[in-house]
Structure 1
Amino acid sequence: MKKIINVLLIAVCFGMAMPAQAQLKWGLKGGLNMSKASFSGSDFKSDNYTGFFIGPMAEFTIPIIGLGIDGAVEYSQKGIKLEAGNVSESLKQKSIEVPINLKYTIGLGSMLGVFIAAGPQFGFDLNSDEWKFYDEDFSFKKSNFSLNVGVGAKLINHLQVGVNYNIPLGKTAEYDGVVSTARNAFSAKSKTWQVSVAYLF
């Protein structure tokens, strides 16, 4: 009985110590977006589109086990470059994006650590470009949901650099009009590589 009580006391003390060791940091994050769209229901091809993102972020970590969560609210510019025959268009997508990632960090010393991260991202359109094609507009969705997977490094306890791959879990843009008697709507999905730098205070 004594051993069980001692184990329970140790578990309670450890559970109480974890929040005390937890850290909450605020900072600023920014970087480059490199997007490329794939089309469904059309013969359009896409080239890479380069944009940027920037915004405030927060990170909550438990140093003992290296596990944490980070989130941000970012102004982001991505886009779609499409072409087929004599048609060539470049459309800019402006949005507010909210990534929330579960992050696991492995410390390599007091000044360096590496991390892996993954989680959902929510996007909300901000009057992005539209393209008039036949009788309807090819336009970006008003909201979107995607998944982030990334790796990076933490330097001098304040600086973070990372590479992230964003995978849409739905349509990025869509055309609802009639292309021909054989085909109606088509859509696009944009997958994005991101290179980021963040400074946490």
Structure 2
Amino acid sequence: MKKVLSTLALMACIMMALPAQAQLKFGLKGGLNISKVTFSASDINSDNRTGFFIGPMAEFTIPVIGVGIDAAALYTQSGAKVEYENESYDKNLKTIEIPVNLKYNFGLGSMAGVYVAAGPQFGFNVGSGHLGDYDIKDCNTTFNVGAGVKLISHLQIGVNYNFSINKVAKYEEEGKKYDMKKNTWQVSLAYLF
């Protein structure tokens, strides 16, 4: 939590120090995600599952150089299907995710543009605290890498891949520790006001 607050405070300081011609836009972002959970135990299998995300976003850009910061607060529901020996179960993971990306925009005229983005994402579990025998952590960190297009200066279509930096869940049995990580592909649509 301290990391998130420190990051937000740093972003606020940077925004206050940048020139007046910088642009700040707010909007809504949503889309589909395809998640894959992986386990440190080799005898546990999992399948890709589809989910969704939606929430408010903000984009701060310096027009002349095309660099900016993109941040959002997204409610995310992703799924996991886990198979172990003769057991199988499906689970929806519900989180609030806060991606903070450094974004670089390439203009293609006044009607369109292309962007690339990368940065950390902080996730906070708001659903069940368990996935089978695994205890889901209250917070986790992933790293985003993505690209997309901007159309008519208000619409953005993007693709992101975020991979787990730390474990999402853990399980301990007979002195052995097992970890779970989650990697996700996302396809997003955003509208900026």
Residue in structure 2 matched with residue 142 of structure 1 by the alignment: 138
Residue in structure 2 matched with residue 184 of structure 1 by the alignment: 176
For the 8 Å contact 1:80–1:190, the answer to whether it is kept is: no
Residue in structure 2 matched with residue 96 of structure 1 by the alignment: 96
User: SS in structure 1 opposite 2:173?
Assistant: coil
Q: Which runs of 5+ in 2 are unaligned?
A: 1-17
Give the direction of change, closer, same or farther, for the CA distance of 1:159–1:131 in structure 2 (3 Å limit). Answer: closer
Residue in structure 1 matched with residue 61 of structure 2 by the alignment: 61
Residue in structure 2 matched with residue 11 of structure 1 by the alignment: none
For the 8 Å contact 1:95–1:128, the answer to whether it is kept is: no
Aligned alpha-carbon RMSD (Å): 1.5
Give the direction of change, closer, same or farther, for the CA distance of 1:131–1:101 in structure 2 (3 Å limit). Answer: closer
- Runs (4+) of structure 1 exceeding 3 A deviation are none
Larger radius of gyration: 1
Q: CA deviation at 1:129?
A: 5.7
For the 8 Å contact 1:122–1:143, the answer to whether it is kept is: yes
Q: Which runs of 5+ in 1 are unaligned?
A: 1-17
Select between 98-107 and 41-50 the one with higher mean Cα deviation. 41-50
Give the direction of change, closer, same or farther, for the CA distance of 1:84–1:59 in structure 2 (3 Å limit). Answer: same
Residue in structure 2 matched with residue 15 of structure 1 by the alignment: none
* d(CA) in 1 for partners of 2:101, 2:157: 15
- Please say if 1:165 is aligned against 2:161: yes
1:40-91 per-residue CA deviation (whole Å, 9 max, x = no partner) reads 0341111001111100000000111111001001111113211133211112
* d(CA) in 1 for partners of 2:20, 2:185: 36
Q: CA deviation at 1:163?
A: 0.2
User: SS in structure 2 opposite 1:56?
Assistant: strand
Number of residue equivalences: 176
TM-score by length of 2: 0.86
Q: How does 1:35-54 map to 2 (within 5 A)?
A: 35-54=35-54
User: SS in structure 2 opposite 1:20?
Assistant: coil
Select between 62-71 and 169-178 the one with higher mean Cα deviation. 169-178
Q: How does 1:16-31 map to 2 (within 5 A)?
A: 19-31=19-31
Residue in structure 2 matched with residue 6 of structure 1 by the alignment: none
- Please say if 1:71 is aligned against 2:71: yes
User: SS in structure 2 opposite 1:176?
Assistant: strand
- One-letter code aligned to 1:24: L
